[in-house]
Amino acid sequence: MQKKRIAVREGKPRSTNRDYSFFDNVYEVVRQIPKGRITSFGAIANYLGTKLSARMVGWAMNGAHSVSPKVPAHRVVNRNGMLTGKAHFATPDKMEELLAKEKIKVEKDTVVEFEKLFWDPAKELSLDR
DNA sequence: CTCCTGACTCAGC
DNA sequence: GGCTGAGCCAGGA
């Protein structure tokens, strides 16, 4: 899917002059996450150029349920690999369930071997794809 | 328009 | 080494 390139402006996202939707970018990136892999809010935020605003990434996910196609929010965890957003799913167990289907082991609300499964958009999408 | 909150993160105590 | 506070930006009341 080299299709839609993520129209991310690394210039100055915090500028009042934002020609894009921060949320849309978040959704786009999250959708690019390969199955069986996960990433962190910080990584996404960093990729979007607002690493200091990781909260926005999480906040964006808040509306992920309303967009289409649906965003695999379960593949996004905090920097510790902890399923911080599980409470926001239909059911608290939904997130673990989804991850389990992708062979991602979860223990105590934390992804096992998070570092190994970590998928960095800034790195992966940066490559020639 | 102003105030508050939020699925994060880092720095300091 | 765990808890607290501050910073970040956008959206809702």
Question: What CATH number does residue A66 fall under?
Answer: 1.10.10.10
pLDDT tens-digit readout, A69-116:
889 999 999 999 999 999 899 999 999 999 999 999 999 899 999 999
How high does pLDDT run on average in chain A? 81
User: Is residue A13 a part of any domain in this protein?
Assistant: no
Nearest nt by C1' to A78 Cα: B8
Does A129 fall in a domain? no
Question: pLDDT class for A15, splitting at 50, 70, 90?
Answer: very low
Which strand C nucleotides have any atom less than 7 A from protein CB atoms? 7-12
As for how many domains chain A has, the answer is: 1
The whole domain housing A96 covers 19-119
Question: Would residue A62 count as lying in a domain?
Answer: yes
**Residue A80 CB lies within 7 Å of the nucleic strand B:** yes
Nucleotide nearest to A50 in CA–C1' terms: C8
Give residue A101's pLDDT. 96
How does DSSP assign A61-111, residue by residue?
Answer: HHTGGGSSSPP-GGGEE-TT-B-TTGGGSSSTTHHHHHHHHTT--EETTEE
Q: Is the pTM of this model over 0.75?
A: yes
> What pLDDT sits at residue A64?
87
Does A111 reside within a domain?
yes
Dist CA A60 CA A95 (whole Å): 17
Output the six-digit token pair for A67. 């967009």
